[in-house]
Chains A and B, each alone.
Chain A
Amino acid sequence: MSSDRASGVVERIARESYGRLAALVAARTRDLVLAEDLLAEAFAAALAQWPAEGVPATPDGWLITVAKRRHADLLRREQVRMNGEPHLQMLAAEIGEAEELPDRRLALMFACAHPLIERGARAPLILQTVLGITAKSIAAAFLVSPSSMSQRLVRSKAHIKESGIPFGVPEQTEMPERLDAVLEAIYAAYSTGWDDTDEGTSVLAPEAIWLAGLIVELLPGEPEAKALLALMLYAEARRDARRDRDGRYVPIDRQDIALWDRARIGKAEALMHAANSAGPTGRYQLEAAIQSAHIAQRLSGVDCWPAVVALYDHLVALTNSPVARLNRAAALAEVAGPEAALAELSGISADSRMLGYQPYWATLGHLHLRAGHVEAGREALTVAIGLSTDDAVRQHLRLRLDAAS
Chain B
Amino acid sequence: MKSIRGQFILVFSAMALSATVGCGSYGGGAGVVPEVTFIEAGGEDAEAAEATSESSAELPTGSLKGKVTLSGGSPTLPLLIAKGSAVKDAEVCAAEDVPDERLIVGPDGAVSNVFVYLSKAPKGARPLEVPAEPFLFDQKTCKFIPHAVIIPVRQTVKVLSNDSVAHNTHTFPSKNAAINSTVNPMDRDGLVSFAYTKAEAVPLAVKCDFHAWMNAWHLPLDHPFGAVSNASGEFEIANIPAGKHSFVVWHEAANGGFVQRKLEVEITAGETAEVSIDYPASLLKL
Whether chain B is bound by chain A comes out as: no
B-contacting residues of A (Cβ < 8 Å)?
A: none
A-contacting residues of B (Cβ < 8 Å)?
A: none
